[in-house]
Structure 1
Amino acid sequence: MKRNINIFEFPLNLGLTKKEHETEPGVRKLPDWLRKFGFHSRIDPVNVFRLEAPEYSMDFDRESKVRNADQIIEYAKKQADCILHHYQKNTFNIILGGDCSILIGNAMTLKKLGNFGLFYLDGHTDFIPPELSETGGAAGMDLAIITGTGHQKLTDINGLKPYFAEENIFCCGNAETDDKEYVDQIINSGIHYFDLYQLRENGFRRTADDFLKMVDEKGLDGFSFILT
């Protein structure tokens, strides 16, 4: 049976630090560009829901050591409310960013709905504490945040910590393997980790099958696939 599709647009860019030549990170424009080049018309969603993001800023929160922490938290709460309000169990939901920090709101939503798995495909692990971040951008530590690493104001919004259990996550594709301190963070976690070279050796199909097998064996309520 063909499933209905909903698209959620969350054009947040507060999780990134802008480059010298930028006025703001361009990921805010992603949903609009995808629409312009026919993504929405090809997907043919039943509904398109959008939550506008605050204006870009570079505020550094000394308490959490994360830029724009308070704005990201408030957006995550609104984002979770938006998804939950429009959630339909048998509908396939596509979430468009925005930067990786929108994972926080998505993760909060799934925590409220049950116990879910996460397949995280990225050229970085995004699994570091704020102390190891060179920029303070939440988009570079979102996987750590959703599993409980970092300041409590971000990791325990509405008392939901952790949003995902480490052992229910596959993190795949990291190409930044030369920094031992960076890689050790995820190796020493409970996350199933496959860097880019391990992913190529194992094969994407086999890795994905292993993930789905884990979801089935643990009796999880479902899973989310993140491509960043």
Structure 2
Amino acid sequence: MNRNMSIIGVPMDLGQSRRGVDMGPSAIRYAGVVEKLERLQFDVNDLGDITINRPDSKNDKQEGNLRNLPQVAEGNQKLAEMVDQEIEKDRFPLVLGGDHSIAIGSLAGISKHYENLGVIWYDAHGDLNSGETSPSGNIHGMPLAVSLGIGHEKLTNMLDYQPKIKPENIVIVGARSLDPGEKDLIKEKGIKVYSMHEIDRMGMTKVMAETIDYLKDRTDGVHLSLDFDGLDPSEAPGVGTPVLGGMTYRESHLAMEMLAESDILTSAEFVEVNPILDDKNKTATVAVGLMGSLFGEKLK
């Protein structure tokens, strides 16, 4: 793994409707992420937070079924450009959210450097909606679809190319809340999904071994997009869309440790930490602990 790392904070809360997730990057920093990574011998360059402009409620009109589209697109454009620049400098981009709509910018900036970028989507949700299928109009439920080229062109055509990823290079881990349109798209595109049913039956060791084996030969880089609602709310309470019956802290550490051992990751993002909904910054502390495992921390 590249030991030169750039941290980019994206205080985005416009891809959904609950305030507070814009403070996620600050909460993760407060929980000690930079110190943790430096102890693991990474050369860390914290680039601070991207500026996210607020909508003007008087003048902004909702475009179709897409909440805050101009601001979400603008913020992701800035992120895509920053991520692109850091990869050009041969640095590992670590993106801190913010809501999951920021994956649109992350993947736009990352994927242009790879022929076959693999994506591990560690999440309770598929995030495969579009304006036509979304029950809410929240763009944080759309980034994976957008990255496949499905959705509004202000989002799909970021950095002037699409699609960013191929359906056969995606693995969703931990799904347990999928909308009807997402289920249809998963079947249509043949996207590999390990739901909580598979994790319970097979165990996390087998799920991650299969995920790593599936991606390592077909991809030339792998991006981890980890949404903290993938974990059970008892373990990560500070998220905007909690879903009961999620992955445990220990299962998640194991998954991160196996990814570290596989040495296939080339970028990562951690999203949806909302300190307003949290208990004494517990979720951000969990985030830093999982990053430790992902980036090689060992007990012995």
Q: Which residue of 2 aligns with 1:31?
A: 25
For the Cα contact (< 8 Å) 1:167–1:191, is it kept in 2? Answer: yes
Q: Does structure 1 residue 47 correspond to structure 2 residue 45?
A: yes
CA shift in 2, pair 1:157/1:61, >3 Å = farther
User: Which is further off, 115-124 or 186-195?
Assistant: 186-195
Shift of 1:13: 1.2
How many Å separate the matches in 1 of 2:204 and 2:30?
Answer: 30
Shift of 1:224: 0.5
For the Cα contact (< 8 Å) 2:117–2:169, is it kept in 1? Answer: yes
Q: Deviations over 1:4-46 (max 9, x none)?
A: 332211111110123xxxxxx2111011112222222222252
Q: Deviations over 1:197-223 (max 9, x none)?
A: 1233233232222232233322x2210
Q: Which residue of 1 aligns with 2:166?
A: 165
Q: Which residue of 2 aligns with 1:61?
A: 62
User: Which is further off, 161-170 or 52-61?
Assistant: 52-61
Q: Deviations over 1:137-164 (max 9, x none)?
A: 1001111111122223321224311111
How many Å separate the matches in 2 of 1:38 and 1:131?
Answer: 40
Shift of 1:99: 0.4
CA shift in 2, pair 1:196/1:10, >3 Å = same
How many Å separate the matches in 2 of 1:6 and 1:157?
Answer: 21
Give the match's secondary structure for 2:163: coil
Q: Which residue of 1 aligns with 2:142?
A: 141
How many Å separate the matches in 2 of 1:104 and 1:93?
Answer: 14
Q: Which residue of 2 aligns with 1:221?
A: 220
For the Cα contact (< 8 Å) 1:57–1:68, is it kept in 2? Answer: no
Written as runs of structure 1 = structure 2, the 5 A alignment for 1:120-199 is 120-176=121-177, 180-199=180-199
For the Cα contact (< 8 Å) 2:87–2:110, is it kept in 1? Answer: no
Give the match's secondary structure for 1:130: coil
For the Cα contact (< 8 Å) 2:4–2:91, is it kept in 1? Answer: yes
For the Cα contact (< 8 Å) 2:105–2:158, is it kept in 1? Answer: no
- Stretches of structure 1 that go unaligned for 5 or more consecutive residues are 19-24
Give the match's secondary structure for 1:40: helix
CA shift in 2, pair 1:158/1:83, >3 Å = closer
How many Å separate the matches in 2 of 1:227 and 1:7?
Answer: 15
For the Cα contact (< 8 Å) 2:148–2:166, is it kept in 1? Answer: yes
Shift of 1:180: 4.7
Q: Does structure 1 residue 106 correspond to structure 2 residue 106?
A: yes
Give the match's secondary structure for 2:189: coil
Shift of 1:182: 4.5
User: Which is further off, 85-94 or 165-174?
Assistant: 85-94
For the Cα contact (< 8 Å) 1:107–1:146, is it kept in 2? Answer: yes
How many Å separate the matches in 2 of 1:176 and 1:188?
Answer: 18
> Structure 1 vs Structure 2: percent identity of aligned residues?
29
Give 2:188's aligned amino acid. N
User: Which is further off, 95-104 or 28-37?
Assistant: 28-37
For the Cα contact (< 8 Å) 1:3–1:90, is it kept in 2? Answer: no
Give the match's secondary structure for 1:87: helix
Shift of 1:2: 7.8
- Stretches of structure 2 that go unaligned for 5 or more consecutive residues are 228-300
For the Cα contact (< 8 Å) 1:125–1:174, is it kept in 2? Answer: yes
